[in-house]
Amino acid sequence: MSPTPGTPPRPLTIATCSLAGCFGCHMSFLDIDEALADLIDHIAFDRSPLTDLKHVHPDGVDIGLIEGGLCNHENVEVLREFRARCKVLVAVGACAMYGGVPALRNGIPVAELMAEAYLNPAAQGKLGGPLHDAQLPQDPELPPLLRAVLPVHEVVHVDLTLPGCPPPAEAFRQLILAQLAQRDLVLPLHLRHFD
């Protein structure tokens, strides 16, 4: 890929993170496939499953791609740090934008959900038979659940969104090209999925 006028001289730094998501949005990003080879001289990954870095560099990155909504207090902490270290935060996919599938639990009180998952013999039967000494998880290291699964924008400012479940790979590519050329992202209709 030849340098585009206006392209920054240093690589565009990108971080990615998954909260209450299924990693399907990350997989779609990787579906850019061979076109990623054309971009690779112009981008550098910071925090992401590809690098296995757990925190964004304190100096920050140009773009942060966040997948998933927020289902527990740890998600909130992770998101706040991620937001603080990303110049442009992109909410990627239906879970980050609206809560998505995990938010289906939002109409049910947390105590009821926990009892159904861990104490209800019928539910345990579906998982392969009743458990002995069934009890609720007590480990203090487990982050408490939020009352409801929240979309990212309810906790931090979001600069851009990529809709879809997941967004198409080409939408990720267009996002990167727009950022490299320092222009607004304009996605054609066929790349704006809401399913």
| List of residues contacting ligand SF4 (CB under 6 A) | 21-22, 24-25, 67-68, 93-95, 100-101, 165-166
DSSP 34-51: THHHHHTTTEEE-SSTTT
Supply the minimum distance, in Å, between the C-beta of residue 20 and ligand SF4.
8
Supply the minimum distance, in Å, between the C-beta of residue 133 and ligand SF4.
33
Maximum pairwise Cα distance, the chain: 66
Bridging pattern class, strands 145-150 and 70-72? antiparallel
- Is the Cβ of residue 18 or residue 179 nearer to ligand SF4 in the bound state? 18
- Is the Cβ of residue 21 or residue 168 nearer to ligand SF4 in the bound state? 21
Supply the minimum distance, in Å, between the C-beta of residue 106 and ligand SF4.
15
> Closest by alpha carbon to 12, among 106, 90, 75, 108?
90
Distance CA 146, CA 144 (A): 7
Supply the minimum distance, in Å, between the C-beta of residue 129 and ligand SF4.
29
Structure tokens belonging to residue 189: 């209709």
Number of Cα atoms under 13 Å in the Cβ half of residue 193 = 16
